[in-house]
Each structure stands twice: as C-alpha cells, then as structure tokens.
C-alpha cells in the first residue's frame, strides 16, 4: 500500500490509468483497504484499477499466524464470511465512483449476479469480470458474458506459482466449491446460487475446528505470544525498550547459589555489534561457587522431590508468564548482548516460554 501510494503521487506516472493492485476479500482488512484506495484516488485525482479476489493463500496466512504467535488470524476462517466480505468490498468499489475501475475476479454465480445488480443500481457500466484460464467457462456462457470477461493466467517462477495452483486445485475440488457444485448435475441450482448472507446468519461464528493462534495447542497449554515487526507501533515500542536499557547502564550477572546472585568481581562484557559499548559485567563461577551450588542443591533435593509434578508445573508456568510479561526488555537485552536481529530475539524469548509451558504439562502428567 505504501508503494502504491508513492507511485500514485509520482509526477512520472501522472495521467497513466493502469496503476492498481489486487484486494483479497478473505482478509479482514479488505473493506478498510477499499476505503483507503478510494481516498487515495480522490486525493491524487487519478483512476486506480482495483482487482477484487477472494484470495488464494488462505492456508499460508493461517499457518503463519499460528507460527508467529499472533492474537488472531488476518483472514476469515469460514467460506461464508469470505463470500460476504467479497460482496461488501464489491459494493464499496462500485459506490466509490469512476476514480476506481473495479475488476471482479469470480467464478461464483451469486457473486456475478449480485455485482451486476449493484452496478445497475449505481448506474455504472465501467467495470469488468475476470476468470482464470480454464475455469468458469460454463458460468460466463450461461450468464451471456462469454465475450465480456477478461481471461487471465498466473505467471511466475515454479516455487512461487506451485502453491497458488495447488491451492486452487484444493479449493475447486472441495465439496463447498462453486466450481465443483456447478458441474455436478445432482446439485440443485438453488444450492449453487445460495445467498452467503443467509449462510453467515446461520453460522456467524469462527470455524469451530480452527482455534485462534493462542489456543493452537488446545487445553494443554497456551501458544507463546509473538510480535509483528511489520507494525510501526511495535518497532517503536521495542526501540523504546532498547533505549531504556541503554539508559540504565551496564547490567550485572553471575551464578545464583541458594537463591542469591554472586555478582562481585565481574568482568566487562561488550557488544559484538559495537565494541565500544559496555553491555554489562559477568562474574564467572569459581571452584568454591560450584561446590557451594552442589551442596545447596543436594540439601534442597528432598524438598524438591516432595513438591510433586503439579507444583513444579505451577512454577514453570509462572516462569513462562513472567518472561512473556518482560518480552520487550528481554528482546532489548538479547539485541544488545548478542547483536541479534529483532526477529531472532522474539524467537528466542518465545522458545523459552514454550519450553516452560511444554515441560509444565509434562511435569503435571508424568510426575
């Protein structure tokens, strides 16, 4: 979107009416993006071509949100929600006016008929339908639009194109697919062209078998929380945490023996990314420290053994929660101490949190 805005405001592209992009309706931000595009078109007084699709990378979007520990998915988890979003975005594009040239990519009879009706009511004829090469032929023939539809084909390198094509094969082979139903003579026409608003009203909630990312592991444990560094607010917050760490000055660290940190006579630790920056002072364990740690652990072992798995699980869970609350500060320490990228930092914090929660479950069920 930033790139599109920059191009839209460039003098070298003034007067060119081919500038545009595709909007994926399965994304929850779809309607907001359409509104933003309308504002950009009016502000720059230029026509934008906007291709509306439902989206072909749903699986990747869902898996990425799970792996990254996001609070929720950026996409809808049910087909009827995506279908309604598509029609909502379509209506917004049509109502924006001639500064937006809508291009509706669809193989769905209800979507085609609904968009035609929306355009007729708005008095617009400056729009087009699109279909994928080899798909939707029967639909557009039945609608009398054989010669009034743009036929397109995806182009790209094998590693980029294959996921798209596999997704389309899975999508169109599914029982819920319009393309699949349209070619099945046993499926009545009423079911093929069913209103998605009716389906959404009957089942308005998220997909029951796709829990949000935090609940990825079910009742056993919570998925560790991630950060989205594509968000400016998040980057600024972490930058603030790093600045706060620098302001405090060098940290001190050492062995913890019988609950007490041994930090005297520490050695200076510098930043691997900046040799002039002192990160902290670390006191290495002496032979006496090691003997004392063994003695303390041996003395405490009977009590720890009597604690039992459930109590150990509580301690591990509390540790996980404490680290997660201190995520920003831990990222700052990792960035300064190891010279790591922010992505590596959050991955390390999340791994520690995940380990604590995983072994908390193991402790409760195995001890």
Tens-digit pLDDT profile for residues 237-260: 999 999 999 999 899 999 999 999
Q: What is the 3-state secondary structure (H, E, C) of the chain?
A: CHHHHHHHCCHHHCCCCCCEEEEECCECCHHHHHHHHHHHHHHHCCCEEEEEECCCCHHHHHHHHHHCCCCCCCECCCHHHHHHHHHHHHHHHHHHCCCEEEEEECCCHHHHHHHHHHHHHHCCCCCEEEEECCCCHHHHHHCCCCCCEEEECCCCCHHHHHHHHHHHHHHHHCCCCHHHHHCCCCCCHHHHCCCHHHHHHHCCCCCCCCCCHHHCCCCCCCCCCCCCCCCHHHHHHHHHHHHHHHHHCCEEEEEEECCEEECCCCEEEEECCEEEEEEEEEECCCHHHHHHHHHHHHHHHHHHHHHCHHHHHHHHHHHHHHHHHCHHHHHHHHHHHHCCCHHHHHHHHHHHHHHHHHHHHHHHHHC
pLDDT grade, residue 163 (50/70/90)? confident
Please report the pLDDT score of residue 237 as a whole number: 98
Residue pair 56/168 in contact by the 8 Å Cβ criterion: yes
Strands 100-105 and 128-132: parallel
pLDDT at 176 over 70: no
Domain boundaries, the chain: 2-205, 232-366
Please report the pLDDT score of residue 312 as a whole number: 95
Q: pLDDT tens digits for 262-310?
A: 999 899 998 888 888 889 999 999 999 999 999 999 999 999 999 999 9
Q: Around 235, how many Cα atoms within 13 Å sit in the side-chain half-sphere?
A: 5
CA 177 to the chain's CA centroid: 25
pLDDT at 167 over 90: no
pLDDT grade, residue 171 (50/70/90)? low
Please report the pLDDT score of residue 185 as a whole number: 62
pLDDT at 173 over 90: no
pLDDT grade, residue 183 (50/70/90)? low
CA 110 to the chain's CA centroid: 29
Distance CA 240, CA 313 (A): 33
* Mean predicted confidence (pLDDT) in 110-122: 95
Name the CATH code of domain 232-366 (choices 3.40.190.10, 3.30.70.120, 1.10.3720.10, 3.40.605.10).
Answer: 3.40.605.10
Express as a percent the part of the chain with pLDDT over 90: 75
Please report the pLDDT score of residue 179 as a whole number: 52
Please report the pLDDT score of residue 352 as a whole number: 98
Number of Cβ within 10 Å of residue 21's Cβ equals 14
Please report the pLDDT score of residue 159 as a whole number: 82
Distance CA 294, CA 284 (A): 16
**Could you tell me the strand order of the sheet in which 20-24 lies?**
20-24, 48-53, 100-105, 128-132, 149-152
Distance CA 47, CA 40 (A): 10
Distance CA 77, CA 211 (A): 9
Q: Which of 261, 238, 221 shows the shortest CA–CA distance to 360?
A: 221
**The residue count for the chain:** 367
The set of residues, in sequence order, having a beta carbon less than 8 Å from that of 223 and lying 6+ positions away, is: 66, 69, 213, 214, 215, 216, 217, 354
pLDDT at 156 over 90: no
What 321-326 contacts at long range (C-beta under 8 Å, 24+ apart), as own/partner pairs, is: 323/349, 323/352, 323/353, 323/356, 324/224, 324/225, 324/349, 324/353
Q: pLDDT tens digits for 209-239?
A: 999 999 999 999 999 999 999 999 999 999 9
Arithmetic mean of pLDDT over the chain = 91
Q: pLDDT tens digits for 75-88?
A: 999 999 999 999 99
Please report the pLDDT score of residue 101 as a whole number: 97
Name the CATH code of domain 2-205 (choices 3.20.20.220, 3.40.50.300, 1.10.1040.10, 3.40.920.10).
Answer: 3.20.20.220
pLDDT at 334 over 90: yes
What's the predicted TM-score (pTM) here? 0.85
pLDDT grade, residue 186 (50/70/90)? low
Q: pLDDT tens digits for 41-70?
A: 999 999 999 999 999 888 889 999 999 999
């Amino acid at each position: 979107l930033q790139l599109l805005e920059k191009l839209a405001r460039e003098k070298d592209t003034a007067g060119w009416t081919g500038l545009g992009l595709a909007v994926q309706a399965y994304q929850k931000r779809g309607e907001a993006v359409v509104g933003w595009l309308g504002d950009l078109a009016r502000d720059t007084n230029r026509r934008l071509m906007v291709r509306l699709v439902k989206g072909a990378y749903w699986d990747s979007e869902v898996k990425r949100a799970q792996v990254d520990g996001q609070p929720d998915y950026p996409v809808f988890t049910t087909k009827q929600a995506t279908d309604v979003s598509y029609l909502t975005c379509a209506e917004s594009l049509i109502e924006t006016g001639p500064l937006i040239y809508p291009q509706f990519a669809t193989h769905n009879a209800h979507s085609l008929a609904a968009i035609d009706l929306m355009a007729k009511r708005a008095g617009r004829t400056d729009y087009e339908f699109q279909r994928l090469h080899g798909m939707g032929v029967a639909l557009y023939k039945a609608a009398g639009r054989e010669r009034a539809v743009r036929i397109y084909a995806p182009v790209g390198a094998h590693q980029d194109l294959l996921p798209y094509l596999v997704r389309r094969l899975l999508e169109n082979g599914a029982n819920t697919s319009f393309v699949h139903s349209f070619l099945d003579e046993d499926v009545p026409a009423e079911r093929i062209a069913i209103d998605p608003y009716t389906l959404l009203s009957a089942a308005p909630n998220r997909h029951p078998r796709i829990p949000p990312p935090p609940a990825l592991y079910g009742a056993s444990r919570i998925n560790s929380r991630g950060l989205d560094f594509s968000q400016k607010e998040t980057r600024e917050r972490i930058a603030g945490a790093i600045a706060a760490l620098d302001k405090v000055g060098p940290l001190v660290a050492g062995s913890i023996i019988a609950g007490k940190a041994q930090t005297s006579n520490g050695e200076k630790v510098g930043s691997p990314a900046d040799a002039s920056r002192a990160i902290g002072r670390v006191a290495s364990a002496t032979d006496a420290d090691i003997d004392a740690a063994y003695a303390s652990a041996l003395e405490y072992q009977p009590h720890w053994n009597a604690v039992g798995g459930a109590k150990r699980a509580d301690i591990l869970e509390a540790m996980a929660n404490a680290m997660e609350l201190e995520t920003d500060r831990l990222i700052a320490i990792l960035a300064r101490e190891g010279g790591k990228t922010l992505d590596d930092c959050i991955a390390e914090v999340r791994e520690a949190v995940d380990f604590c929660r995983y072994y908390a479950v193991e402790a409760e069920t195995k001890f």
